């Protein structure tokens, strides 16, 4: 009965792919597919089939040789491993452009991450309603976190305010943070932080574009003499 399956540490790279498999499996299930091979799942996920099998093997031996994986059962196991057997309410700090888009986005709650609250410092924003949730003052953060048992916080403030926002989240009892501000947050080691940085993504694309162009076709007129200063 696979007694210690829980305690096995799953590699980071695998953890970041499991949600992708999960979504694809859900789609397959909805389409009436009840059995799937690693090859097919790999094709859908755009990865190597061996990688799929190895990833899934960290959860246990849930496949059937010669047949594949039973979709619904696999969905159940992946969800369990990712901790998706219950909802994880999130609190959003910053009700600007991005905070509003996030709050207004239904996909959050659907996937098990209901918006437990959204807070801001700006009194003009407090009281307005976004996506069915009323914006509250940031001073109410500890109360929201505690009464709603929130462990995940989202930082959607300008960069200059992001560290403070993170500090307040941590002080309120949040233990995981998703950061959209373009700064490196400093938090206690026990807090899990993930960042989503648009500028970084675009600059990575820019790197590849520049490289594709040969790296030097767009000759830069000025500034070349700089190397003399080094």
Ligand X SMILES: NC(=O)c1ccc[n+]([C@@H]2O[C@H](COP(=O)([O-])OP(=O)(O)OC[C@H]3O[C@@H](n4cnc5c(N)ncnc54)[C@H](O)[C@@H]3O)[C@@H](O)[C@H]2O)c1
Nearest distance, CB of residue 76 and ligand X, angstroms: 24
Q: At residue 136, what are phi and psi to the nearest 5 degrees?
A: -120, 165
Establish if 48 lies at the interface with a copy of itself (CB under 8 A). Answer: no
Residue labelled with tokens 């659907």: 110
Q: Which does 144 bind (CB under 5 to 8 A by kind): DNA, ligand X, a copy of itself, none?
A: none
Establish if 61 lies at the interface with DNA (CB under 7 A). Answer: yes
Which of 139, 100, 132, 138 lies closest to 119, judged by CA? 138
Establish if 89 lies at the interface with DNA (CB under 7 A). Answer: no
**Candidate list 40, 111, 137, 148; residue touching a copy of itself; CB under 8 A:** 111
Establish if 45 lies at the interface with DNA (CB under 7 A). Answer: no
Nearer to ligand X, 10 or 101 (CB): 101
**Candidate list 2, 8, 11, 207; residue touching DNA; CB under 7 A:** 11
Establish if 122 lies at the interface with ligand X (CB under 6 A). Answer: yes
Establish if 24 lies at the interface with DNA (CB under 7 A). Answer: no
Establish if 195 lies at the interface with DNA (CB under 7 A). Answer: no
Q: Which does 49 bind (CB under 5 to 8 A by kind): a copy of itself, DNA, ligand X, none?
A: DNA
**Candidate list 30, 31, 46, 123; residue touching a copy of itself; CB under 8 A:** 46
**Candidate list 39, 72, 140, 197; residue touching DNA; CB under 7 A:** 39
- Give the DSSP letter string of the chain: --TTGGGSPPPHHHHHHHHHHHHHHHHHHHTT--EE-HHHHHHHHTS-HHHHHHHHHTT---EETTTEEEHHHHHHHHHHHTTTTS---EEEE--SHHHHHHHT-THHHHTT--EEEEEES-TTTTT-EETTEEEEEGGGHHHHHHHTT--EEEE-S-HHHHHHHHHHHHHHT--EEEE-SSS-----TTSEEEE--HHHHHHHHHHHHHHHTTSSSS--SSSGGGGGG-
> Which residues contact DNA by CB under 7 A?
11-14, 36-39, 47-51, 53-54, 56-57, 61-69
> Which residues contact ligand X by CB under 6 A?
93-99, 101-102, 105, 107, 120-122, 125, 138, 156-159, 161, 164-165, 180-182, 198
């Amino acid at each position: 009965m696979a007694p210690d399956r829980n305690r096995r540490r799953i590699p980071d790279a695998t953890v970041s792919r499991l949600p992708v498999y999960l979504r694809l499996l859900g789609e397959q299930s909805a389409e009436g597919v009840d059995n799937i091979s690693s090859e097919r799942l790999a094709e859908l996920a755009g990865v190597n089939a061996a990688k799929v099998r190895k990833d899934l093997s960290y959860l246990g031996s849930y496949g059937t040789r010669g047949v594949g994986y039973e979709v619904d059962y696999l969905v159940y196991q992946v969800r369990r491993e990712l901790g998706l057997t219950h909802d994880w309410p999130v609190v959003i700090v910053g009700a600007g452009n991005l905070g509003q888009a996030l709050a207004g986005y239904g996909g959050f709650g659907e996937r098990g991450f209901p918006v437990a609250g959204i807070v801001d410092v700006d009194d003009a924003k407090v009281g307005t309603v976004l996506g069915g949730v009323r914006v509250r003052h940031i001073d109410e953060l500890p109360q929201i976190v505690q009464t709603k048992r929130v462990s995940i916080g989202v930082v959607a403030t300008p960069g200059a305010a992001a560290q403070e926002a993170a500090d307040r989240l941590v002080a309120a009892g949040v233990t995981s943070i998703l950061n959209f501000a373009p700064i490196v947050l400093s938090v206690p080691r026990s807090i899990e932080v993930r960042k989503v940085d648009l500028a970084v993504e675009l600059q990575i694309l820019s790197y590849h574009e520049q490289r594709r162009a040969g790296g030097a076709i767009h000759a830069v007129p000025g500034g070349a003499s700089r190397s003399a200063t080094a």
